[in-house]
Structure 1
C-alpha cells in the first residue's frame, strides 16, 4: 500500500466524486478508479457505495479514511522534520484538552517563533482521551491534559496556574444569583457533564457522598457546544472557569464551594526520540517555567 494511493483515496473521500478528485490531483479518472479498485482488492473490503452522481463511504470506508488521514499526517510530519538544514525547521503537533493554562503554551509558541521561526506549530483541540491515543500513535508530539490523569507512560511538565470548577448557567437561572454553588444545589438540576473519566471521578470525590445522584442529561468533550446547550435551556454545565468568555453574553459562571481547582500538564511519550522542532519547543517552554517546575 503506497502513500500515493492513500492520497488518491482521501481526495476522493473529500470530493465524493472521482472526476473532481482526478482534476484536483491532475491525473486521469481511469487511473483513480483503478487505484481505488486495487486498494479495495488489497484490503478485501468495499470502501465506497457508488451512486450515479456521488459516492459514499461504507462503514469500513469510514474507518479506513480516519486511519489513512493519520498515516498521511504522520508521514508528512516525518518528512518535514527530516528534510531540514542546520536551521531548525519542521512541524510539531500539540493536542490539547480545553485549559486556561494553554496561555503558557501560547507564550512558548511565541518564543519559538523568535528562536526557530521556520517551525510550524499545529494545535488540535480535543479531550484528554484522544490526546493520549494520538500521542502514542505518533500523530501528536505533545499533549496538554487536565489533572488528575495517569502519566505513568509519559514524560511531563506541570503548567503554571489553576482553574476553578463551577457551573455554566443562564443568567435567568436561580444559580446565577449565587456567589458559589454547593453539592446540594446540584441535586435538582439537569447536568451537562464532561466525558473525561478523570474529571468525572474528580467531581464525584468533591460531591463527598455516593448518595447524591446527579441528573446527567448530556455529556460533552469540548465546552463550546455544551455552552450552546446551556443557552438553549438543556441544562447547566459542570466545567472549568476561563474557557468560555461570559462577558456580554447570557451565560454566567458560578464556582463550586468548597472550591475545587484543576491543574494541567504537558505530556509526551517516554523513551521516544524527539525531532529538532519538538526539542526546540520544549526548550522554549522550559525557559518560561519557574525554577521549581
Structure 2
C-alpha cells in the first residue's frame, strides 16, 4: 500500500468532500474516486459513507484514519531524518508544554538556527500526556516538560528554567486582591487541576491535602480548556504561571500559591532510539548552553531573577 494513497484518504477524511480533496491534491476527482475505491476493495471494508455533497467516515474508516495518520507521520519522519545525513539540514520535531520553558526553547532555536540555518523545526504545543505519546510513537524527537516526568523511559537534561504554582481566578473575585493564597485555603474552593496523574500526585504532596478533601470540579489538559469555568466562577484552576504569561487574559489574574515547591523543567528523548544527526546536534547544543555559565540564556536568567 503506497503512502500516497493514505495521503489521499486522509485528505478526504479531513475535508469530507471528494471534489475539494481532489482540488487540494491536484488530481482529478475521478482518479481520486478510483484510488479510494481500490483502497476499500483491498481492505474489504467501506471507509466512507457517501452523501450528495459530503463523505463521512464509517466506524472502520475512523479506525483506519488513526493508523494511516501514524504511518504517514512515521514515513515523513524517516524521510526527514535521512535527508540530514549528508549535511545538517533535516527537521527536528519538538513537543513543548505551555510554560516559561517555551521562552527558553525559542531562545535555543534562534541561536541554533543562526549556526545551522538549513535545519528546520516542527513545533507542537501540547500537554505532557500528548508529548509523551508522540515521543513513544516516534513522531517527535524531543519533549520539553515540567517535572515530574516518567524518567525510566527517557534520557533527560535538567533545564535552567523554573515556574511557580498559581491559582487562576477572575480579576473581580476577592481572592484576586491577595498577594498569595495559603494551601489550606484551597480546601474550601472549587478547583480545576491538571489531568496527568503524576502531576496530580505532586500537587497533593506539596499541598499536604488528600485528594478526597479537595473540591475538584474538573481536570484539564491545557489551561485554555478551562477559561469559561474560571470566568464563570464555577471553579478555579491550579496551574503554572507560565501557562498564562504567553497568552494573558484581561479578565483573569494569577495568585501565587504559598508553597516552597518550584516547578522545574527537563528536555527528554527516548532511550534506545536512533535520532537524526540534526536532533543529536541540537541536544548537544542545549547541553553546551545549559553548562556554560556565560551563555546568553544563563546571563539572561541571572539578570531576570
TM-score with structure 2 length normalisation? Answer: 0.88
Instruction: Tell me by how many angstroms 1:119 deviates.
Output: 0.9
Cα shift at 1:137: 1.0
Q: Deviation of residue 284 (structure 1)?
A: 2.1
1:272 pairs with 2:247:
no
Whether 2:227 is the aligned partner of 1:227: answer yes
Mapped to 2, the partners of 1:34 and 1:102 lie a distance apart of 45
Contact 2:231 2:252 in 1 (8 A): yes
Secondary structure at the residue paired with 2:287?
helix
User: What secondary structure sits across from 1:158 in the alignment?
Assistant: strand
Residue pair 1:91, 1:122 contacting (<8 A) in 2 also: yes
Tell whether 2:250 aligns with 1:249.
Answer: yes
> Which region of structure 1 is more displaced relative to structure 2, 147-156 or 172-181?
172-181
How far the C-alpha of 1:113 sits from its partner, in A, is 0.7
RMSD: 2.2
C-alpha distance in 2, partners of 1:236/1:46?
46
TM-fit CA distance, 1:248: 7.3
How do 1:93-242 residues align onto structure 2 when only pairs under 5 Å count? 93-210=93-210, 213-242=213-242
Task: Return the alpha-carbon distance in structure 2 between the equivalents of residues 188 and 42 of structure 1.
Answer: 60
In structure 1, how many angstroms separate the alpha carbons of the residues matched to 2:73 and 2:132? 17
Shift of 1:30: 2.9
Shift of 1:130: 1.7
195-204 vs 41-50, greater mean Cα deviation: 41-50
- Work out the CA distance in 1 between the residues paired with 2:160 and 2:139: 25
Indicate the SS of the match to 1:259: coil
- Provide Cα deviations, 1:228-265, integer angstroms capped at 9, x if missing partner: 43123332110001221386722111111233221111
Q: CA deviation at 1:194?
A: 0.9
Say whether the 8 Å CA contact 1:155–1:270 is kept in structure 2: yes
CA distance in 1, matches of 2:63, 2:231: 34
Report deviation, 1:136.
Answer: 1.7
Conserved 8 A contact 1:159-1:264: yes
Question: C-alpha separation between the residues in 1 aligned to 2:112 and 2:211?
Answer: 50
Note closer, same or farther for the CA distance 1:119–1:228 as it changes in structure 2 (3 Å cut): farther
User: CA 1:182 to 1:44, structure 2 compared with 1: closer, same or farther past 3 Å?
Assistant: farther
TM-aligned CA distance change 1:47 to 1:178, over 3 Å: same
| Cα distance change of structure 1 residues 165 and 120 upon mapping to structure 2, 3 Å threshold | same
Deviation at 1:188, TM superposition (A): 2.3
Contiguous gaps of at least 5 residues in structure 2: 294-305
Secondary structure of the equivalent of 1:41?
helix
TM-score, L = length of structure 1:
0.91
SS of 2:272's equivalent? Answer: coil
Q: Which residue of 2 aligns with 1:283?
A: 284
The alignment covers a number of residue pairs equal to 293
Residue in 1 that maps onto 2:33: 33
Task: Extract unaligned runs of 5+ from structure 1.
Answer: none
Output one character per residue of 1:115-144: Cα deviation in whole Å (capped at 9) or x when no partner.
211111111011211211111211000011
